[in-house]
Amino acid sequence: MAAVGDGLARLIAWSPGDGRMASLVRRVCARTLSLPAVPSEVTVGEPASEAERSVAEFAEQFSVDVSQISAEQRSDLLKQLGDDAFGAVVSIFIADFVPRVRAGWKRWASARSIWDGCGSRSGGTTRRQRGPAFCSTTFCPPWPACAHSIPSPPSWSGCGRGCTQLPAMQVAA
């Protein structure tokens, strides 16, 4: 999960635009999604200009349903920002995407499952038996076991065809 967190941090750092506009976009997207906002260096309340109003409206619709952004909203954004519209839209994408990914990872990580190397819910070797080299792969999550799991596809269960590279969830005792 650390790699995902590092990737999200890099994505946030790449977010273009001035501090005020990026902060406005982050606040609007977070409020719309009811999720914590991506951190900002500048505190912004409401839009202070017609350009900021246009960006806030576009960001809100982007977070609600990107497919429903109207031609008027696109046109207004381009009219208000000109060549800076692309950077604003990238900021909106990041401000919308990062909180969703963080919330998804937090929810998924709360399952606190461990991986089984052969796809069996009760058999196979656990990551503890395989050692740290196996656990450094992308398949081993860093959290402990719990009583909940997702069953593995039947084709992985005890297949004996090198399925050590195909993980499945295991219920911990």
Note the pLDDT of residue 73.
Answer: 97
Stated pTM of the model:
0.58
Q: One digit per residue, pLDDT tens: the chain, 173 residues?
A: 556 556 656 656 555 556 888 889 999 999 999 999 888 888 888 999 999 999 999 999 999 999 999 999 999 999 999 999 998 999 999 899 889 988 888 877 766 554 444 444 444 444 444 444 444 344 444 444 433 344 434 443 444 443 333 344 444 43
HEC letters along the chain: CHHHHHHHHHHHHCCCCCHHHHHHHHHHHHHHHCCCCCCCCCCCCCCCCHHHHHHHHHHHHHHHHHHHCCHHHHHHHHHHHHHHHHHHHHHHHHHHHHHHHHHHHHHHHCCCCEEECCCCCCCCCEHHHHCHHHHCCCCCCCCCCCCCCCCCCHHHCCCCCCHHHCCEEECCC
- The Cα 127–Cα 63 span in angstroms is 38
Which distant-in-sequence residues (6+ apart) come within 8 Å of 85 by Cβ?
77, 78
Q: What local confidence, expressed as pLDDT, does residue 155 receive? A: 40
Q: Are 84 and 117 in contact (CB under 8 A)?
A: no
